[in-house]
Amino acid sequence: MALTAIDIYKLLPKTNCKECGQPTCLAFAMQIAAGKASIELCPPASEEAKEKLSAAAAPPLPKVTIGTGEREVVLGDETVLFRHEKTFYHPTAIAVSIRDDGSDEEFASRLAAIRRLSFERVGQRIAVDLVALRCASGEAGRYARAAAAAFEATGLPLVLFAPAGPLAAAVEAVAPSRPLLVPTPEDLLPAAKLAAERKLPLWVRAGGIEGLSVALADARAAGAVSLVADPSPETPRDAVSLATDLRRLAILGRVRDLAYPSAFDLGGGFPDPFLAAALLVAKYGSLLVLDSADPADLLPLLTLRQNLFTDPQRPIQVEAGVYAIGTPSESSPVLITTNFSLTYFTVRGDSEAAKVPAYLLIADVDGMSVLTAWAAGKFTGESISKMLAECGIGEKVSHRTLILPGMVARLSGRIEELSGWRVLVGPQESSALPSYLRRLPPAAFLPVHG
């Protein structure tokens, strides 16, 4: 049972010293309870408090990091099996592979292709997180140079797939970038020692959960701490099942010895890697390695990841402002709705379906839907009038007619009074927008004079 903020507060020094960055001990306790702060931030905390709180706050699935700085990739550190129970914190990391045995040109162009796997969606950058370097040459020197070059060219943390020799050489070259070491199964022990020595994360693979429990124990015995677990499935179906087993062992079973982020190599002839990848993004894959660098594969996967790793209890917001639907003119209709992403997507989609160029005003209401925002006093005659005056729509259109969501028809009079705009009440459901927009008389959007 997780500790409540009050339980935590009782253990804190209650000095309100602010050293943790929070104004009060209570606020700090709330942060710890939410898993957003650690007791380490509280210098005056007693040893007893530190012990109790770090144990209580330790996530059932420990955190493993690869890389450093801005490009650091965090795996694991999850607390629930279903996103609606709280949220998923750390998105499935995606690595795209490259081999060290091609020509320099091939190598460079592949790296460039990987670098391009970065896209802008709803105000966020979604991108491939890591480069997986496969040792195909078998030559330590070549592999180490390739590792350095790959890191140099992309800045992305590396996943180093290699036998012990080349692995050691590559670590010499790029250790400060905190790569993930992926030895061949027979080289697990030397690689584990290397990981222990250099404090690097290690990928442990073995057949199935039973095999992993042995291999992970071996790696720990060799001193490696930061581990990811690869149960080596042979099919997508096995992969989903094994990823689920691992996550359940950590979260339901609290089996510490098997509580590691999962990792899957979906390249090298793995059957139907795309299908496996999509299912593993949805179902408990922590790190996936793909051979495909085709944006037509990566964009959907990254988008799926972006979708599922949002906090379900926090509405996703889109940026407020004026959006053009098609190529609107000065006599195009002007619609308004709120900046809750789902509301925006729906209204935008339906407006586009109408094939009537228009302006869509997105009001900042902290990501609430139209009715909720109205009920919360954030979507009001006042706020809408203010937006009409300040967002610049007045320069874009020559008319002064606003289409208001039918759900908040009651605001129409107030908006007309405050803004001087005429209000047309649109449909209550966005789905009726196409018909509505097509039937609007053009006379509604004639310029205003004077």
Partner 1 sequence: MSVTLPIPVFPGRILEVTLPAGPGGTPVTVGGQNALPLLPEGEHPNAPAVGMEVPTGTLELPAALAAAIGPFAGDPVAMARKCAGDWGARFLFLSLAGCHPDGGGLSVSEGAAVVREVLSATPAPVIIGGCGDEEVDALLFPAVAEAAGRPVFLSYAEEKNHRLVAGAALAYGHGVVAWSPIDINMAKQMNLLLADLGFPPDRVLIDPLTGGLGYGMEYTFTIVERIRIAGLSGDAALARPILCHLGDAWKAREATDASEEAWGDVGARGPRWEETTGLACLGAGADLLVCRHPSSVARLAGAAWR
Partner 2 sequence: MHEPIFAACLRGAAAVLSLTRTTLDDAGTRRGKDAPLAYPDTAYELPVAFGLTDLRVATLADAGKVLDLAGTLVRDGATAENALDAGAATLLAADVLGALSHEKGNPYPPPAVGFVPDSTLRKLGIYLVDGSVPGVAVLIGKATDPAAAAAMVRQFQEIGLLVFLAGDVVAQLDAQGVKLGEDFKTFPLGPLPAVIHAVNFAVRAGLTFGGIGRGQGAAMLAYLANRVKAFVCALGPLDDIALAIAAGAMKAGLTVLSDQPVPEIPGLLLSRPAGDGMVQAGMEARGIKVKMVKVPIPIAFGPAFEGERIRKSDTHIEFGGGRSVAYELVRSAPPEEVTDREIVVDGPDLGKLPVGSVLPLGIVVRVAGARMQHDFESVLERRIHRIVNYGEGTMHVAQRDTTWIRVSTEAVEKGFSLGDLGLMLYAKLHADFENIVDKVSVSITTRLEDVEAGLAGARAAYAERDARARTLTDDAVSEFYSCTLCQSFAPNHVCIVSPERLGLCGAINWLDGKAGFEITPTGPNQPVLKGTVLDAVKGAFDGVNAFVRENSRNTVTEMNLYSIMEAPMTSCGCFECVLAIIPEANGVMAVNREFTGQETPCGMGFSTLAGSVGGGVQTPGFMGVGKHYLLSKKFLGAEGGLARVVWMTREMKEYLGAPLRERAAEIGMPDLVDQIADETVAVTPDALVEHLAKVGHPALKLPPLL
Q: Which is nearer to partner 1, 165 or 349 (CB)?
A: 349
Residues in the chain: 450
Q: Which is nearer to partner 2, 254 or 314 (CB)?
A: 314
Residue 389 engages partner 2 in binding (rule: CB under 8 A): no
Helix (H, G, I), strand (E, B) or coil at 398: coil
Q: Which is nearer to partner 1, 277 or 424 (CB)?
A: 277
Q: Which is nearer to partner 2, 63 or 414 (CB)?
A: 414
The least CB distance from residue 353 to partner 1, in Å, is 8
Can you read off the two tokens belonging to residue 432?
């009726």
CA–CA dist 214, 253 (Å, integer):
18
Q: Which is nearer to partner 1, 43 or 82 (CB)?
A: 82
Q: Which is nearer to partner 2, 154 or 380 (CB)?
A: 380
Residue 26 engages partner 2 in binding (rule: CB under 8 A): yes
Site for partner 2 in 68-87 (CB under 8 A): 84-85
329 contact, one of partner 2, partner 1, none, CB 5-8 Å limit per kind: none
Q: For the CA atoms of 304, 306, 311, 314, what is the dihedral angle to 10 degrees? A: -110
Helix (H, G, I), strand (E, B) or coil at 409: helix
Q: For the CA atoms of 87, 88, 90, 93, what is the dihedral angle to 10 degrees? A: -150
x/- site string to partner 2, residues 425 to 444, per CB under 8 A?
Answer: x--x----------------
Site for partner 2 in 256-285 (CB under 8 A): none
The b-or-e profile of 137-161 (16+ CB within 10 A means b, else e) is bebbebbbbbbbbbbebbebbbbbb
Site for partner 2 in 128-187 (CB under 8 A): none
Residue 19 engages partner 2 in binding (rule: CB under 8 A): no
CA-to-CA separations, 214 to 72, 228, 365, in angstroms, rounded? 29, 14, 53
279 contact, one of partner 2, partner 1, none, CB 5-8 Å limit per kind: partner 1
CA–CA dist 163, 88 (Å, integer):
34
The least CB distance from residue 417 to partner 2, in Å, is 6
Picking from 33, 73, 308, the residue whose alpha carbon sits closest to that of residue 180 is 73
CA–CA dist 284, 229 (Å, integer):
12
CA–CA dist 265, 272 (Å, integer):
12
Q: Choose the binding region for partner 2 from 91-99, 171-179, 296-304, 308-316 (rule: CB under 8 A).
A: 308-316
Residue 401 engages partner 2 in binding (rule: CB under 8 A): no
Residue 417 engages partner 2 in binding (rule: CB under 8 A): yes
Q: Which runs of E-coded beta strand occur in 111-193?
A: 118-121, 124-127, 130-134, 158-162, 180-183
* CA end-to-end span of the chain: 68
Q: Which residues are near partner 1 by CB under 8 A?
A: 82-84, 116, 119, 121-122, 209-210, 213-214, 236-237, 240-241, 244-245, 248-249, 252-253, 255, 258, 272, 274-275, 278-279, 282-283, 294-301, 303-304, 306-308, 310, 312, 341-342, 345-346, 349, 352-353, 431, 434-435, 438
The least CB distance from residue 87 to partner 1, in Å, is 10
Q: Which runs of E-coded beta strand occur in 70-144?
A: 73-76, 93-99, 118-121, 124-127, 130-134
The least CB distance from residue 217 to partner 1, in Å, is 8
The least CB distance from residue 91 to partner 2, in Å, is 20
Q: Which is nearer to partner 1, 352 or 364 (CB)?
A: 352
Q: Which is nearer to partner 1, 249 or 387 (CB)?
A: 249
Query: Any residues with CB less than 8 A from the CB of 393 and at least 6 apart, and which?
Result: 322, 334, 359, 361
Can you read off the two tokens belonging to residue 6?
């009050």
The least CB distance from residue 293 to partner 2, in Å, is 38
Q: Which is nearer to partner 2, 27 or 299 (CB)?
A: 27
Residue 446 engages partner 2 in binding (rule: CB under 8 A): no
Amino acid code (one letter) for 380: T
Q: Which is nearer to partner 2, 97 or 380 (CB)?
A: 380
In sequence order, what are the beta bridge partners of 362?
321, 337
Neighbours of 270 (CB within 10 A): 19
Binding residues for partner 2, per CB under 8 A? 4-6, 9-10, 14, 16, 22-24, 26-27, 30, 33-34, 84-85, 312-315, 372, 375-377, 404, 406, 408-417, 423, 425, 428
